[in-house]
Structure 1
Amino acid sequence: MYRFLLTGRWVLTVLIALLLIPACIRLGFWQLHRHEARVARNNLIGASLKAAPVPFDSLSPRPGFHVPGDLTWRTVTATGEYDTAHEFVVRQRTAADGGTIGYFVITPLKLADGHGEVLVNRGWVDSGSDATQYPPVPAAPRGTITATGRMRADETSASSGIRDRGGLPDRQFMLINTAEQAKATGATLLGGYLELASTDPAPADQPQLIPAPDHSDIGPHMAYAIQWWLFAAMVPVGLWIMIRREARERANPAPDTPAPTAPPIPAPAAPAA
């Protein structure tokens, strides 16, 4: 009854189905792992943002220090005076609205304990009408201040996907990178940088602060995983339905339809006498 499965067409059909099942299962687990990684990242960010602030230089003790993933977003503080002479901006950065392109304002902060300097991302400003000129930037507070914010790792082209390039106007860069700035200025910059959330005392004017990252969205990966597993379950069901239909059609072939016959041609009538 099922000898037709040995034909070339059906052998190929069954082989494709057998390959689709593990492929769909594997893709489902891939999406599940992405879901788990997203949840773990959100939990880490949430815990880091809620943690009590610690001094920046207690986590990043030296120049060239690579900030690991479990310290990224950790709440940190830095006390000292801004080094406005070495302030710079980072191009092509998005405002809090997610659509407006401008600059991040980065100002080094000389630590009061003398352990070096920390790059502080003071926030976002509009690019203005001339991208070849340094943009209007609210002045950094004078005197000793305490900056509180989120610890971030140095940006590189590999980690950020941003292509570093030369030939930019004075004090404009593409990346926030302490090694690059230390080479340019000779300052002792601790690895990583501080993404500002608040300043004590609060300044009268400042760039637009960067909002804390959203760590509530888990993404669609779990739904995608379930879809792939449903596809894996549907493949054998669909294959069995196709096989049964083929078997029924072969067991009960449709009767041949007789060819239509033309109506008889009437004989011509005899002529009248």
Structure 2
Amino acid sequence: MYRFLLSRRWLVTLLIAVLLIPATIRLGFWQLHRHEARVDRNELIARSLTDPPVPYDSLSAAPGFAVPKALTWRTVTATGQYDPAHEFVVRKRTDSSGDKIGYFVITPLVLADGRGTVLVNRGWVESGASAAAYPSVPAVPTGEVTLTGRLRADEAAGGSLKDRGGLPDRQFNLISTVQQAKETGATLLGGYLELTATAPAPADQPELLPEPNHSDIGPHMAYAIQWWLFTAMIPVGFWVMVRREAKDRRKEAAEAEVAAVAVPA
């Protein structure tokens, strides 16, 4: 009764089922690894934000320093004077709500200890009437200031971040110390400071960036479980199809036998 499994149609169906099983298992583990990466990221951010602040140049003490993942989001401080002459903005960035597109304002801070210059992301400002015009930006505080912020790594082109040329003066697509060092010739320490507080406090400043979300673990674990449930359903579904086919064939055979008996000699 199960000889139909040797037919071309059923052999192809069986082959598809056999190939689907390892594929869906792999997709489940892919989602699991994404879940684990999200959890690790959240734990890193939470730990970094609660660690005591340290001087910026105690972590990034040289030009071209690539901020490692373990130090990203670490709370740092820096004391010095702003260099507004080399200030620039980074295009196509959203405000804290994510609804408005504008610019990040990046101003170099010359460290008081003479060890170099730090790029400071002072926050977000809205776009002006023309994308070609430099936006209206609150002036930097004069004199020596002490900044507190989050250590961030240089941005690199990829994904939604594109490094295209031909932009208006003092407008860029990336926050990159390597790029800015070539532009200005300054000795820039690797990475940048994402500002959270200034002492003394300025009268006006760009919209500070919010603390990164480190509570949302995303849907990846649920997706992993769904893929593995689908994996389990493949052989069950195949067996249900086989039993149904066998039942239908038995029914057809029985009906044919009854019809044959009913035919007069």
TM-score range, shorter chain: over 0.9
**Residue 37 of structure 2 corresponds to residue 37 of structure 1:** yes
Task: Within 5 Å, give how 1:71-86 maps onto structure 2.
Answer: 71-86=71-86
Q: SS where residue 106 of structure 1 aligns?
A: strand
Q: In the alignment, what sits opposite 1:60?
A: 60
Task: Within 5 Å, give how 1:145-224 maps onto structure 2.
Answer: 145-158=145-158, 161-224=160-223
Q: How far did residue 130 of structure 1 move?
A: 2.0
Q: In the alignment, what sits opposite 2:138?
A: 138
Amino acid at match of 1:245: R
Distance 1:179 1:252 in 2: 77
Distance 1:149 1:156 in 2: 21
Amino acid at match of 1:56: Y
Q: In the alignment, what sits opposite 2:238?
A: 239
Q: In the alignment, what sits opposite 2:8?
A: 8
Q: How far did residue 134 of structure 1 move?
A: 1.5
Distance 1:196 1:65 in 2: 19
Amino acid at match of 2:211: A
Distance 2:196 2:52 in 1: 14
Distance 1:162 1:219 in 2: 23
Amino acid at match of 2:193: L
Q: For each residue in 1:145-196, what CA deviation from the matched residue of structure 2 results, as whole angstroms up to 9, or x when unmatched?
A: 11101111111214x6422222222211111111111121121110110000
Q: In the alignment, what sits opposite 2:106?
A: 106
Amino acid at match of 2:43: N
**If the length of structure 2 is used for normalisation, what is the TM-score?**
0.93
Amino acid at match of 1:224: Y
Q: SS where residue 78 of structure 1 aligns?
A: strand
Distance 2:13 2:86 in 1: 68
Q: How far did residue 251 of structure 1 move?
A: 2.4
Q: In the alignment, what sits opposite 1:271?
A: none
Q: In the alignment, what sits opposite 2:263?
A: none
Structure 1 range deviating more: 118-127 or 83-92: 83-92
Distance 2:134 2:68 in 1: 33
Task: Within 5 Å, give how 1:105-124 maps onto structure 2.
Answer: 105-124=105-124
Q: For each residue in 1:27-71, what CA deviation from the matched residue of structure 2 results, as whole angstroms up to 9, or x when unmatched?
A: 111111111111111111111111111111011010111111111
Q: For each residue in 1:225-248, what CA deviation from the matched residue of structure 2 results, as whole angstroms up to 9, or x when unmatched?
A: 111111111111111111112222
Q: SS where residue 255 of structure 1 aligns?
A: helix
Distance 1:237 1:15 in 2: 15
Q: SS where residue 71 of structure 2 aligns?
A: coil
Q: In the alignment, what sits opposite 1:269?
A: none
Structure 1 range deviating more: 241-250 or 118-127: 241-250
Distance 1:109 1:65 in 2: 17
Q: In the alignment, what sits opposite 2:51?
A: 51
Q: SS where residue 176 of structure 1 aligns?
A: coil
Structure 2, unaligned stretches of length 5 or more?
A: 260-265
Q: How far did residue 24 of structure 1 move?
A: 1.2
Distance 1:90 1:12 in 2: 55
Distance 2:171 2:251 in 1: 80
Task: Within 5 Å, give how 1:80-95 maps onto structure 2.
Answer: 80-95=80-95
Amino acid at match of 2:68: P
Amino acid at match of 2:215: S
Q: Which has the higher helix share?
A: 2
In structure 2, relative to structure 1, the CA distance for the partners of 1:165 and 1:14 (3 Å cut) is: closer
